[in-house]
Amino acid sequence: MKIFKSKIISKMLFAATILWTAAALVPVCAFASLADGTSWEQFHGDATNVGYSASSAPDTAEFLWESADIGVNGSSSVVVADGKVFAFSAPSDMYGGDSALSCLNELTGATIWTTTLLPSEWGSWSSPAYHNGKVFVSSGPETRCLNASDGAQIWTFTNPSGNASCNGGPTVADGKVFCSDWDGGHYYCLNEDTGALLWTFNVSGYAQGTAAYENGYLYLTSWLYVGGHVYCVDAVSGNLVWHVTTNLDACGSAAVADGSVYVTTYNFSGDGELYSLDASDGSTNWVKIVQRTDSTPAVAYGNVYVCGGCTGYSYSQTYCFTTGGTLVWETSTAFGVGNWTCSVAVADGKVFVGKPDPVTYFCYSGIYALDAYTGAEVWHYDAGGSSPAVANGRVFTPHGADGKVYAFGPAYPDWDVNQDGNINVLDMVLIGQHWGETGSPGWIREDINQDGSVNVLDMVLIGQHWGE
């Protein structure tokens, strides 16, 4: 009898421990960073534009959903946060037109809300940005801040020049929003909460990139045929830190990682380039020849990944270089994977990249997953392909030709252990029932982080999504 009571008391104490841990983890995990793979909040992942997610990613073409025809732009990228997918809708051509921001359910693709924007210009394929319950988007001469829950407007900033943005979307960092006005030649810094203008930075030529931010510094690009510019700017004051030029047109956006800035160039009559610059002074580390491109490089596993090519003008290829500039692999021209408007995403040992539509310049015919270390094809699906985003074990990508967004991966996130659509104490209980067990990584759902052990790290992941 005493033994029986002892077991009951032990189980009750253990259950209480789980509940206490859950309660303790909820507020702590509210500050989970983008690096945990649970969101893709800005263009190319986060404010650094590095295009890497710590998320798991599907090993097969595990189709999850396709959205309704929301007119998504065929060269844009979505952002993923707070159980939602935000997509920019605008014509996939060189002119622009009626535009909107659509919010989709992350698990089903169902449209939650749509907010009409000013018409896009110059065929802009701007991507939105998310932060702290707000979503930011640039279209025409405006940048708007919307409530992520219902799309209601919080504030609007109109470019003082009256010029429209083109391709470069907003970046959010350090309480600020950075946006641009393309042929106006300006990047603007706004207060995140109010949209008030804090400073303006003038560039040579077209301000076309999405700003990259790291440790108080902005990295900006511009171009004016023929030739490009890369700038480092103090994010607080807007003062220039350094400025260098490129041989060809720096039409894309910079990525910054581990003390280096990576930028590509577009060549209207031949091959483009991939630059590695020293983030402290802009000096050139190395330059490599690639297919012409506006692609923003991705940085992961000690490598730099980029793609390029333009239908009707050059072959399409995807490349992997070490961060020291040594070519690791490149896809064949016959394979035809990669495009000038696609910025690859890297996650879980895979590179996600689009195959261009054989007819248009701005849409895609499919998404490909490549082995990050060899370039070999892992899987592909004949839809989607535009600048993929990876979060929560899933891949999201616009298609363009049919106006839809496509998603691949599991229907339930890993932390919904009992797969009931709610993250709560019942998932914690399942962890408790297998507490301390070990096996092959991911051998049971309770091994959420797939490290081969069921322990507090798995509870942390549940805590990060508590109440979803």
Q: What DSSP designation does 3 have?
A: H
**Residue 322 to residue 302: CA distance in whole angstroms:** 6
Q: Is the dihedral of CA 370, 376, 379, 385 positive or negative?
A: positive
Element holding 209 (H helix, E strand)? none
Strands 197-202 and 84-89: what pairing?
unpaired
Q: Is residue 46 part of a domain?
A: no
Q: Tell me if 20 is assigned to some domain.
A: yes
Residues 417, 317 share a domain: no
d(CA 298, CA 222): 19
Cα-Cα end-to-end distance for the chain = 42
Residue 98: both structure tokens together = 């009626």
Clarify whether residues 458 and 403 are in a common domain: no
Query: Which of these, 299, 271, 268, 294, lies nearest to 53 by C-alpha position?
Result: 299
* Class of residue 416 by CB neighbours under 10 A (exposed 0-12, middle 13-18, buried 19+): buried
Residues 433 and 343 in one domain: no
Tell me the three state secondary structure of residue 123.
Answer: coil
Q: What is the pLDDT of residue 465?
A: 86
Overall domain count for the chain: 2
Q: 188 and 291 share a domain?
A: yes
* pLDDT given for residue 21 in this prediction: 52
Give the closest residue to 392 by CA, choosing from 374, 413, 406.
413
| CA pair distance 419, 57, nearest whole angstrom | 18
Cα separation, 53 vs 301, whole angstroms = 11
> Residue 455 corresponds to which tokens in the numbers above?
């322990």
Domain of residue 138 covers 56-408
Q: Are residues 23 and 130 in the same domain?
A: no
115 is written with which tokens? Answer: 């907010």
Choose one of 364, 383, 408: the last residue of a domain.
408
Of 384, 408, 432, the last residue of a domain is 408
Distance between CA atoms of 229 and 185, rounded to whole angstroms? 12
Instruction: Please indicate, yes or no, if residue 388 is contained in any of the structural domains.
Output: yes
Q: How far apart are CA 244 and CA 206, in angstroms?
A: 15
DSSP per-residue string spanning 339-366: -TT---EEETTEEEEEEE-SS-SS-EEE
Domain boundary (367, 392, 408) is at 408
Q: How far is 50 from 344, CA to CA, in rounded Å?
A: 10
Please report whether residue 113 resides in a domain.
Answer: yes
Residues 111, 24, single domain; the answer is: no
For tokens 């989709």, the residue is 104
Verify that 379 and 348 share a domain, yes or no.
Answer: yes
313 with 447, same domain: the answer is: no
Query: Do 388 and 443 reside in the same domain of the chain?
Result: no
Q: Does 387 reside within a domain?
A: yes
Mean pLDDT by 10 residues, the chain (468 residues): 46 48 46 70 98 97 98 97 96 92 97 98 96 98 98 98 97 98 98 98 98 98 97 98 98 98 97 98 98 98 98 96 98 98 98 93 94 98 98 95 96 81 87 88 79 90 86
Q: How confident is the model at residue 15, as a pLDDT?
A: 47
Task: Note whether residue 51 is domain-resident.
Answer: no
Which pTM does this prediction carry?
0.87
Q: Are residues 94 and 190 in the same domain?
A: yes
Distances (CA, A) of 121 to 48, 92, 405: 26, 11, 22
Cα separation, 455 vs 434, in Å, equals 9
Asked if 196 and 310 sit in the same domain, the reply is yes
Query: Can you tell me the distance from the alpha carbon of 92 to that of 108, in angstroms, rounded to the nearest whole number?
Result: 24
112 with 149, same domain: the answer is yes
Instruction: For residue 226, say if its preceding peptide bond is cis, omega within 30 degrees of 0.
Output: yes
What is the CATH number for 194? Answer: 2.130.10.10
Sign of CA dihedral 242, 246, 250, 254: negative
- Contacts with 117 (C-beta within 8 Å, 6 or more apart), sequence order: 99, 100, 101, 137, 139, 140, 142, 144
Cα–Cα distance for residue pair 290/297, rounded to 1 Å:
12
Question: DSSP assignment, residue 460?
Answer: H
Residue 231 lies in a domain: yes
